[in-house]
Amino acid sequence: MEVKSSTTMQLLLDHSTTQFDGQESQELQMCPTQHNVLQITLTGPALIGTIIVVIISVQVFHPSLTSTLIALAVIAWIVYNDYDNFLLLGPGGTPSTFLGYLKIACLRMVALKNPYEPLSCSSDIYPRIGYFQDTPYLLPQRRGPRPQIAGIAPQRQINQRGCSKVYKSLLATLEATAAQDPARFFTGISCFEKKGLSLFSRNPINATCKGEIVHVHNSDRSMHMNMHPDDAKLVIEKGWGERHPLARGGWFKQYVPREFMMIYAPRNSAEMEVVCRIIEAAGFWVSGEKINLQVRDQAFNPKEKDVESISA
C-alpha cells in the first residue's frame, strides 16, 4: 500500500510539473533577483573616462597611492552591488537600510556553510519522533534541481517560483484551516517576517515566535516553518527544502529556532499537496497535535488530481 501510494504521488508530480515547465508566472510583482557582485558594466564613454582618470592619477599621484585608490574603488563597488542584492530580495525581517545590510553581512560570516546537512536530534525533544516516521511515502522525491536561494533575512527563492493560482490556493488553505479549528489555530501577520500570512498554534509545545507554524513569502511563494529534526532531514533528502542559515541553536535562537526551515514554493497542484503534508508536519512539531490540511483548489483542473487517470 505504501509503495503504491508513493509511486502514484511521483507520477502525479511528474505529470503536473511537466505542464508547468517554462511557465514562470508573469503576475509576480517585486520578484527577488540577484546579480554578480563582481560585475562592473561600463558604457563606451564611461570606459574611456575611467582610462583617462587612471592615466592622470598615475602622473599626478604616487603609484602606490593610485593603486590604493583603485583598490578602494573596486571594494566600494563590490559593497554597493552586495547592498543592492540585499535590497533586491525585498522587505523582510531586517530593515531595508544600510545598517540592516551591515547586520546581515556580519551574520553571513557565521551562517551555516551547508544548509543541506541535517540537524542533529537531541534526546530531550518532544514529540520524540517526527510526523513522517511511519509514513515517509507521503514525501516523494521533488522533481528537478533545487531552486536558487539567496539571503539570510530576508531569505528568498530566486527561481522556480510557483504560479499565482497555487499561491492563492496555499493562502486559502491556511485560512480555512484556522477557520475550521479556531480553538487550536489562527492566522495573522508573520512574527518572524513582520509581513506575509502565517498560521499559528494557540497552544504551542515547542518555542517558536508566538507559536508560528509557517509563513508564506508573497514575493516568491516560498515558506519558512519549524519542523521536527527527523522530518527536516527527510525534507532535505527529498529536495523540498533546506535549513535556514541561522538555524544553529544557542545564541542564534534570538533570530530563528534551530529547527527553522526554508521550504520551496510549490509549482503546481501536485506539489501543493506535498507541501501541505510538510505544513502538517510543522504543525505537529509546534502544537504536538496532528492536523489535516484540505487543499482549497477549486480553480485547479480536477484532472490534475485524478490519480486513476494519471496512473493509467
Residues 297-310: tens digit of each pLDDT: 654 344 444 333 33
Residue 247: count of CB within 10 angstroms of its CB: 24
| 8 Å CB contact between 252 and 112 | no
Residue 17 has pLDDT above 60, yes or no: no
Chain-centroid distance, C-alpha 203:
25
Helix, strand counts (H, E) of the chain = 8, 8
Q: What span, in angstroms and rounded, lies between the C-alpha atoms of 68 and 47?
A: 20
Task: Quote the pLDDT of residue 100.
Answer: 94
Q: What span, in angstroms and rounded, lies between the C-alpha atoms of 84 and 291?
A: 41
44: Cβ–Cβ under 8 A, 6 or more apart, which residues? none
| 8 Å CB contact between 155 and 244 | yes
Burial of 55 (0-12, 13-18, 19+ CB in 10 A): exposed
What cell was used for 140?
Answer: 516523494
Task: Quote the pLDDT of residue 107.
Answer: 93
CA distances to 131, 202, 205, 233 from 287, in Å? 12, 8, 5, 19
Q: What span, in angstroms and rounded, lies between the C-alpha atoms of 225 and 286?
A: 10
Task: Quote the pLDDT of residue 132.
Answer: 94
Residue 14 has pLDDT above 70, yes or no: no
For the chain, the average pLDDT equals: 82
Residue 21 has pLDDT above 50, yes or no: no
- Between helices 269-287 and 229-237, what is the axis angle to 10°? 160
Q: Can you say whether residue 171 is alpha, beta or left, with left for phi > 0 and alpha for psi between -120 and 50 degrees?
A: alpha
Q: What is the pTM of this model?
A: 0.79
Task: Quote the pLDDT of residue 46.
Answer: 62
Average pLDDT over residues 73-92: 86
| 8 Å CB contact between 10 and 141 | yes
In the chain, the percentage of residues whose pLDDT exceeds 70 is 79
What are the helix (H) ranges across 98-249?
A: 98-108, 164-180, 229-237
The most confident of the ranges 12-26, 71-85, 101-115, 291-305 is: 101-115
Peptide bond preceding 154 in cis form (omega within 30 of 0): yes
Task: Quote the pLDDT of residue 124.
Answer: 81
E strands, 145-217, in order? 149-151, 155-157, 185-189, 197-201, 212-216
Q: What span, in angstroms and rounded, lies between the C-alpha atoms of 32 and 88?
A: 6
Residues 169-226: tens digit of each pLDDT: 999 999 999 999 999 999 999 999 988 999 999 999 998 999 999 999 998 999 999 9
What cell was used for 182?
Answer: 479556531
